[in-house]
Amino acid sequence: MLKFIVKRVASAIPTLLLLILFSFVMMRLAPGGPFTSERALPVEVLANINAKYGLDQPWHIQLWRYIEGLIFHLDLGPSFKYKDRSVNDIIAQGFPVTMTYGLWSFAVAVVVGMSLGIMAAVKHNTWLDYIAVGISIGAQVLPNFIMAPILVIIFTLWLGWLPGGGWNGGQWNHVIMPVIALSTSYMASIARLTRGSMLEVLNSNYIRTAKAKGLPMRTIIFRHAIKPSLLPVMSYLGPAFVGMVTGSVVIDIYFSTGGMGQFFVDAALSRDYSLLMGITVLFGAMTILFSTIVDILYAWLDPKIKL
């Protein structure tokens, strides 16, 4: 087990380095420096600015400095746009917001999705099953950027129950709509996957044996059926996490939560390369870390994988 964990973690490192290298190269390929503007700066001033940000160095030294700062000081460098702030400052401001509703969304998607899927499978071919299947098919064509305006129409403009945006320190009524908008389509996918694998498990021989033994349905489901039927769902959690991290950009923009997504899009529009790169590296590191954890959990849960 330990060997597997070490191996898996070790293989995550080159991925991260490649991501850093890729985004670094992209930034260097961009036409014009970050300080080229329509109003041309005097040459000496530009040289001074470039020297301050280390842009006068050859690129391999720049890359080394970036990686060095990242690894030894967890420092993502200064923002090119917000002159007096570092990328770390900006992330420290936006990250907690994104994390708050992101974790809630993930929890909702997993818990509601799995429960819905299990219920649908256990009550196969009843109205409950049909409703669950209907919801999961419908929710598949409702990605976050469709859900968000629809929710605002219903709960803000029509019913007037919830505020249509803002964050207000994470008060519950500001968190609900972002969570629903972000989690719905993943909830649907998880429900569909769970239902499918649960049905397969419930039709298998050992469940029939358990039934023949006279075990009550509840024991069969919770003791014998759930664990194996969740394995395929586990392997979907990685992609779901990536999707939610990406989707958070839409949520941040649409609900003006002040999270990372807003900074990311601002940085993209104003060509703030260091901030763009910092956010990409952070989100990349998160997803790589997450998929590593999921892999380890999977190996631990699946009796077929020998360690």
Partner 1 sequence: MISMNRKKRDEVVDNLSNMDLVEGTSLWKDAYLRFMKNKAAVTGLILLVLMTLLAFIGPYFTPWDYQSIDWSLIGNAKDGGAPQIANRHYFGIDDLGRDIFARTMQGTQISLMVGFVGTAVAVFVGLFYGAIAGFVGGRVDNIMMRFVDILMSIPIMFVIIIFFVVFGRSIFLLFMAIGMFAWMDMARIVRGQTLAIKNKEYIEAARAAGVSGIRLITRHVIPNLLGIVVIYTSLLIPSLILTESFISFLGLGIQEPLTSWGALINEGAGQMRYGVPWQLGFPIAFFVVGMFCFFFIGDGLRDALDPKDK
242 part of the interface to partner 1, by CB under 8 A: yes
* Nearest distance from C-beta of residue 128 to partner 1, angstroms: 21
CA pseudo-torsion sign 233, 238, 241, 242 = negative
Number of neighbouring beta carbons within 10 Å of residue 280 = 17
148 makes contact with partner 1 (CB under 8 A): yes
Burial of 172 (0-12, 13-18, 19+ CB in 10 A): exposed
Pairwise CA distance, residues 174 & 156, whole Å: 11
**Distances, alpha carbon 86 to alpha carbons 74, 203, 269, 295, in Å:** 12, 57, 18, 34
**What minimum distance in Å lies between the beta carbon of 108 and partner 1?**
21
The reply on whether position 163 binds partner 1 by CB under 8 A is no
User: What is the SS3 assignment for 78?
Assistant: strand
Residue 18 contacts partner 1 per CB under 8 A: yes
137 interacts with partner 1 by CB under 8 A: yes
* Stretch of 64-72, 116-124, 143-151, 210-218 lying at the interface with partner 1 (CB under 8 A): 143-151
**Sole binder of partner 1 in the list 76, 108, 118, 152 (CB under 8 A):** 152
Considering only residues 9, 27, 55, 67, which one is a binding residue for partner 1 as defined by CB under 8 A?
27
Nearest CB to partner 1, comparing residues 9 and 215: 9
- Report if residue 157 touches partner 1, rule: CB under 8 A: yes
61 scored as a contact of partner 1 (CB under 8 A):
no
- What's the closest the beta carbon of residue 180 comes to partner 1, in angstroms? 16
Determine if residue 215 is left, alpha or beta; phi over 0 gives left, psi from -120 to 50 gives alpha, anything else beta: beta
